[in-house]
Amino acid sequence: MDDTLRKLQLTELEILKVIDGICKKHDIKYSLYAGTLLGAVRHKGFIPWDDDLDICMSREQYNRFLEVWSSESTKGYLIQNKDNTPTFTQSFSKIRKDNTTFFQDGEIAGDHHMGIFVDIFPIDRMPNGKFKRYAFVWRCMKYQLFCRENVPTQNGVFTKIASDIILKTTTKKLRKKKRQRLLKKITKYNSEKSNNTVAIEIKRTFSTPLPADLMDEYVMLEFEGNEFPCVKKWDEYLTIKFGDYMKFPPVEKRTWTHHPIIIDFEHNYEDLD
């Protein structure tokens, strides 16, 4: 699997270079993100056991990227998110490489394109004030539910029951409308430049304030023999997310993030025998 993992990483790097070219052309600001940013700082490349590649953009830059993608010649690559792929279950976007397969445990075969990917996460702002933040987190939780459209398996009993009731009493058509309305309410604080930034990915991240100016300034860091933009406050961000980020995890935790059942570098899933 070591050879497969390395080939996977290099394919993701190839996708990143396509994204980077578009961002440079249109002056769209982005940063390496999460474990990918940690890899750049600690390893000058991928974390050796990491199987994905993440970048982030402010919501404004993210929306611009979505707009310009369709105008670019990106043959061999495609963008995937909840708006253009109803069976997609995430609140962010993926850029996938065509004629590849990364079929994960829990996915339904044939639902949508399952190529090797790079994740693009939008960064928003959270409100000030205890009660406004409670309301913000609640909206984020509902927004995630209407993106995923399934009952979360790793939450408490109350959350599972409430999620099940909400989904059963909300039609597919209405879910889309509610999801769009929730996102509008979630992003209404983005003009408040003094407010903390936040990533609305999972409950832990949309409850964790990040620096207000996190997405304001960038530096170039080495990653796999290339240089890519990273938030200037990478140390502060990584400390918030990982704690002592230069310390290696125990050997038993140095494992793949995802659980792929099938990886193929030359064929789409539906073309496999």
* Average pLDDT over every residue of 59-74: 93
Main-chain dihedrals φ then ψ at residue 265, nearest 5 degrees: -100, 0
Of the listed ranges 53-57, 82-86, 193-197, 215-219, the least confidently predicted one is 82-86
Most confident of 30-44, 61-75, 158-172, 193-207: 30-44
Q: Across the chain, what does the average pLDDT equal?
A: 94
Its CATH architecture, for the domain 2-124+209-271, is: 2-Layer Sandwich (3.30)
Answer whether 0.75 is exceeded by the pTM: yes
Give residue for tokens 């913000």.
136
User: What is the reported pLDDT for 1?
Assistant: 56
CA 88 to chain centre: 13
| Residues 227-248 as b or e (16 or more Cβ within 10 Å = b) | ebbbbbbbeebbeebbeebeee
Q: How far is CA 64 from each of CA 54, 60, 67, 77, 122, rounded to the nearest angstrom? A: 18, 6, 5, 18, 11
pLDDT tens digits, residue range 164-175? 999 999 998 999
Contacts of 66 (CB under 8 A, 6+ apart): 79, 81, 93
Residue 258: CB atoms within 10 A of its CB come to 12
* Average pLDDT over every residue of 146-160: 82
pLDDT tens digits, residue range 204-254? 899 999 999 999 999 999 999 999 999 999 999 999 999 999 999 999 999
pLDDT band for position 259 (cuts 50, 70, 90): confident
Contact 86, 20 (CB under 8 A): no
Contacts of 86 (CB under 8 A, 6+ apart): none
pLDDT tens digits, residue range 17-29? 999 999 999 999 9
pLDDT tens digits, residue range 119-132? 999 999 999 999 99
In this model, does residue 271 exceed pLDDT 70? Answer: yes
- The share of the chain scoring above pLDDT 70, in percent, equals 99
Q: How far is CA 167 from each of CA 58, 148, 149, rounded to the nearest angstrom? A: 30, 10, 7
Contacts of 49 (CB under 8 A, 6+ apart): 5, 254, 255, 256
In this model, does residue 273 exceed pLDDT 60? Answer: yes
